Amino acid sequence: MPSHFNSFSSSSLRTPVLVLGLLSALVLAGCGSTSRRVSYEPEEFDSTTTHTRNYAATEGQTCEAARRALLSQGYMVTAANADLVTGRKSFQPAAEVHVEVEFRVVCAREGGKGGKQSTVAFATALQDRYGIKKVNNSASVGVGAFGSLSLPFAGSDDAMVKVASETLTDERFYDRFFTLMDRFLEGGGADAPPDMPAEAPTAPSLPSSSPAPAISFPVAPSPNRG
């Protein structure tokens, strides 16, 4: 039988097999994408008080009070200006669990009645959880003409990776923060302009399923008024 006939028959047989393989891959990819859909049904958009408060002050005064409130609780301020303040704080609830909370406050001017200045403060806290993940490393040994051989008896390294990230929605958490902001506004110490934005710290990487730490904003005592 001629050689060109053999090459034609083998190539013609491979074509349908490749087509079937591509179709199977597309079907599997489609099934995988549908299984990863996220449901947003709990997001009802029915409350406008959890993350917001109104203050009879300017944007600069409101954000300055937010900056001082975060600083008083050990947050490292990563940005601060007349309409935005962000801060970050680290927690270690367990030996192999690391939690970081990033707090963000946006100050926007409101139309006040009778010419009075009014500002609305939007506060959001994002919580990132990290945990330890063990990574196994295999050793390679040279075997002469056969090249290298990977052996399974190597050690393992611990790496910190992010395992969860969520926006905090507890109303009591934000109530405590806004109450602390009230204290700084009432004390009249929020008139100074905020500092220039600071350089954000580098966050480590880590995994875990431990519960998030309890975060509180104790109310600062009112300053003595002469």
**Which pLDDT score, from 0 to 100, does residue 194 have?**
44
Q: Which residue has the higher pLDDT, 183 or 220?
A: 183
Could you read off the pLDDT of 55-66 as tens digits, one per residue? 999 999 999 999
Q: What is the tally of structural domains in the chain?
A: 1
For residue 103, the enclosing domain spans: 51-132+162-196+204-210
So what's the pLDDT on residue 117? 82
Q: How far apart are CA 98 and CA 5, in angstroms?
A: 67
Query: 146-158, pLDDT tens digit by residue?
Result: 555 555 555 567 7
Q: Select the more confidently predicted residue: 185 or 150.
A: 185
Asked whether residue 177 is assigned to any structural domain, the reply reads yes
Would residue 36 count as lying in a domain? Answer: no
Task: Tell me the percentage of the chain whose pLDDT exceeds 70.
Answer: 52
Q: Is residue 96 one of the residues assigned to a domain?
A: yes
Q: What pTM did the predictor assign?
A: 0.59
CATH of the domain at 103: 3.30.310.80
d(CA 226, CA 224): 6
Distance CA 71, CA 181 (A): 11
* Residue 34 domain flag: no
User: pLDDT tier at 124 (50, 70, 90 boundaries)?
Assistant: very high
In a domain, 76, yes or no: yes
- pLDDT at 195 exceeding the cut of 90: no
- The pLDDT of residue 120 is 95
Q: CA 125, CA 105: separation in Å to the nearest integer?
A: 9
**Orientation angle between helical segments 59-72 and 171-186, nearest 10 degrees:** 110
CA 35, 169, 85, 200 dihedral sign is: negative
Asked if residue 142 lies in contact with residue 109, where contact means CB atoms within 8 angstroms, the answer is no
106-119 confidence digits (pLDDT tens): 999 987 666 678 99
Residue 152 belongs to a domain: no
